[in-house]
Every structure is written in structure tokens, then in C-alpha cells.
Copies of this chain bind each other. A is one copy, B any other.
Amino acid sequence: MSVGIRHDDLRRRNRAMVISAVRRAGQPSRTEIAATTGLSHSTISAISADLIQEGILTESKASEPTTLKRGRPQIGLALKPEAAAVLTVVLSLNFLSVAVIDYAGQVIAEEQQRLDTLVMPRDELIGECVAIVRRRLQDPDLDVGSVARIAMGIQGITDTHARAMLWSPITPLTDIPFADILEREFGIPATTENDCNMMAVALQWRDPERYRDDFIAILLSHGIGMGLVLKGALFTGTHSSGGEFGHMIHRPGGALCRCGRRGCVEAYAGNYAIWRSAMKMSEDAEPVDVGDADMRALAAKARAKDGPEREAYRRAGEALGFGLGNLFALIDPAPVAMVGVSAAAFDLIEPALREAIAQTAGGQYSKSISFDTEPNELPLIREGCAMRALTFVDQEIFAPGGQARAGLGKNVA
């Protein structure tokens, strides 16, 4: 059962709340923080004095010099960029990308690299990941001690505790405990999470208006992935990252999926499936990699005239629609973000998708469901990883439960 609240937890939680309020609002004054948290001015004053003294926050007068109001001007509080740093690692099909991000969320260094994930042996894949991280950490401009967290976003299934990649479409390898490997190698706490979940996290930060409590991020790429936020929190499975939307069964015994099973949504809506269908290949044909450029050309052809290309997108829409409908039967409808190269072809997908949804339990709301598209998934994934890592630092390092803060926040008087 849930444990009691000790008296000292109180300050810890309220500290975390103040930090979180600053991260969310940008440069709020103490008064604003008091308003959003519901705590009294005196409490906010005390906590923020602590945080400034510990080098976690700074005062920044430049809060809207335009607002010429009477009264004592507000002093904006901001996250101190030097308070800490985090490192993000994004591993996707044939592509590895690393970035170093300061405590305020600004990218301060990055590096990208192509690699043949599909054929690399285990040691090599791990080795490349470790090597690129090491290169970034050895950057003389970077204070290695300030790097408080490594967050990895990876295409594939991860475990609930964000320790390992369990299975991935980008490599035949399974069960790689990336988080443990990185921690052992660099002595920095690390996590490994599903890329689509990170996309969802990023959307929540980018547009909290639209993506607040309940929404769905769907990656339309080689495969189909999903990140789900319910009641404000990232939804994961009981054991794994969960949300394997792409592998819900659309047609029992149907088209061959990359995962080896038949009839999955992905076997109709993944890039390879659209391609296979447009080329009039058999539904049993082995999935092939299709480049983004080829997919864009395919979409152009489908737009130009009716034919097998257009039909392929129509079938993709149908599969996505029934899948979404089934999802809506469980969780009710919510705003959807379509991300990835095929999101740019959403105009070809949408009609059949809506028609399919209308035939499902979510159908009553079919018209009111709103879709948004974002063709570029990589920046989203990185952003999500960064925010995940930064909020961890906020909560666990700068508002710790019991044990002292490590070497960070060192600008203490």
C-alpha cells in the first residue's frame, strides 16, 4: 500500500513543485508561482531563496520590460543553465544521434552518425553508442561532472523500468540493457525509453494547450508506433513500454507483418506495407526498406491520379482507422498527432481512416476527432528525451528524498 507522508517529504515535494513551475512557465515571478502552486508567498519566497542559493535558479530581471506597471516590478525566476546538463541518445533505423542539453533546455552540443543497425553485431552496436556518448562527454567545453542524466530514445519495445531495449525492428538483436551499459560505462544514471513515448512527452511540452491530459502520438514510418498520454501521464504497459498499436490485429490471418505475425495494423499501414500494396506485390511478400524519398514520390503519384498507389493509402487509412477505433473503444477518443514521413501523406490516408472509425465504437465522435501532422520525428524524440531527463534532475536530484545531492548545483555559497 502507499506509504505515509513523512514531514520532510513536504519540503521536498514543494521544492519540486517550484522547480517544475519555473520549467513550465519560463520566467515566472514568485507571485505567479504562488498562484499556480497554491502555496503562500512566504513559502515560495523561502524555497526560491534556497534554490537560488544552491545555484539551481537565477533571478532574471529581463521579464518583459514592456509591461510598465505601477508597483514593485516582478523579478523573473529562471532555471540556471549551468546547474546541470543532460545527454540524449536517439537510436533509430540506421541512425544514431546524440545531444548535450543544459539545465534550461538549450542544446549545447550535438553529433549524428549513420550506421547499419540492421546488420551490426551486438558488440558493435553497443560500442558505437558508447563511443559517440564518450566523444560528447570528452568535449573540453563541457563540464562532465555537470552531466546528471542520459536519456536514450529507441525505436522498439523497452521495459517498464526504462532499463533495456527488449525488441526492436531496427535490429535482429534483443534484450540489450542500454541503460545499465551506459551507467556502468560513464557512472551517470541513464534510461532507455521507447521513441514514440518520447514523442508524446515532447508534444506535451511543445503544445500543452492541445496535448495536455489525453492524446495519442502515432508514428507513421517504416513501422507504426504509438505514444499515449492518459490523464496527463505517459501510458506504458505493465511490463514493457506497451502501446504496440501497430501490432494490434486488424484482420485475423491477413497480410504478413514485419513482426512475423499476420494481419497487424502495420502490415497495412507501415511504409513497407503501403509500398508492397502500391506495387501490387503479394501480401505475403517480405517487408522491404523504402526510403523517405521513394515514399514521397509514391504519395505524389497517389495524389496525381487514381490507381494502386491511392488504393494503398486508402487501405492504410482503413487499417489505422479500425485500429484507432478499437483503441477508442477502450480509452475514448482523444486528439491525435500523426508523426513521420507518411504523416505528410495524411491527406491520402484521412478519408478512409475516418470512414473506418465511423464503423467502430468510437464512431459517434468520428467527426470531432482532430488530427495534427508533423513529418519530422527526430527532433520530437530528442526533445522528449531531453525533457524526460531534465524533469528527472528537477525531481530526483534537486529535490531529493533523504540522501544529499551529489556534486551538482555546485554554485553554493
Residues on A facing B (Cβ under 8 Å) = 1-7, 10, 13-14, 17, 20-21, 24, 36-39, 43, 213-214, 228, 230-231, 237-240, 242-245, 247-253, 259, 261-262, 264, 318, 322, 325-327, 329-334, 356, 359-361, 363
- CB pair B7 A10 closer than 8 Å: yes
Give every chain B residue within 8 A of A325 (Cβ-Cβ): 249
8 closest A-B pairs (Cβ-Cβ)? A237-B332, A4-B37, A247-B361, A4-B39, A214-B238, A244-B329, A3-B38, A248-B326
Tell me the smallest distance from the CB of A161 to a CB of chain B, in Å: 13
Tell me the smallest distance from the CB of A351 to a CB of chain B, in Å: 16
- CB pair B238 A331 closer than 8 Å: yes
- CB pair B239 A332 closer than 8 Å: yes
- CB pair B332 A248 closer than 8 Å: no
A249 to B248, CA, bound (A): 11
Give every chain B residue within 8 A of A243 (Cβ-Cβ): 330
- CB pair A244 B1 closer than 8 Å: no
Give every chain B residue within 8 A of A5 (Cβ-Cβ): 5, 10, 13-14, 17
A361 to B329, CA, bound (A): 19
A6 to B330, CA, bound (A): 36
Which of B6, B21, B356 is the one whose CB lies under 8 Å from A1? Answer: B21
- 19 inter-chain pairs at a CB distance below 8 angstroms, sorted by A residue, are A1-B37, A2-B17, A3-B37, A5-B13, A5-B14, A5-B17, A7-B10, A230-B238, A231-B238, A238-B332, A239-B332, A239-B333, A240-B332, A242-B331, A247-B361, A249-B359, A259-B361, A327-B330, A330-B330
A4-B14, A10-B7 known; A251 vs B252 contact (CB < 8 Å): yes
